[in-house]
Amino acid sequence: MADQDQVTQLRHLIAQTAREHHESHGSDPSPRWAEWYATRLQPEMGSFVGFEPTVEEVTAWLHEADEKFRAEENPELHWPAFYAELILDSLAVTEG
């Protein structure tokens, strides 16, 4: 399981990126939202995952998190927290 401090920090970073995306693109969902987010998140992701991921890797993580979030009937977490926890947990399983 991911470190909760890291989950909280990544959740805040994802939420901040979401606000920036909303300011840039309005409320209409952009079909390339994950790439936009990944470009902004990628420089910070190394401190969370222990290596420097590519924008493509971050994009894939975001798409996976989005698919799993949308598949939940009643997600217990707000989406930035869900994404942060899922990304960090899945990478912890891969590493361990």
What's the confidence (pLDDT) of residue 95? Answer: 54
Asked if 42 and 17 touch (Cβ cutoff 8 Å), the reply is no
Distance CA 70, CA 79 (A): 9
Q: CA–CA distance from 55 to each of 42, 45, 93 (Å)?
A: 6, 10, 21
pTM of the model: 0.87
Note the pLDDT of residue 58: 97
Domain residue spans of the chain: 4-95
Task: Spell out the per-residue pLDDT of the chain, length 96, in tens.
Answer: 678 899 999 999 999 999 998 888 777 767 889 999 999 999 999 998 889 999 999 999 999 999 999 999 888 889 999 999 999 998 875 654
pLDDT at 1: 62
Nearest to 90 by CA among 63, 56, 54: 63
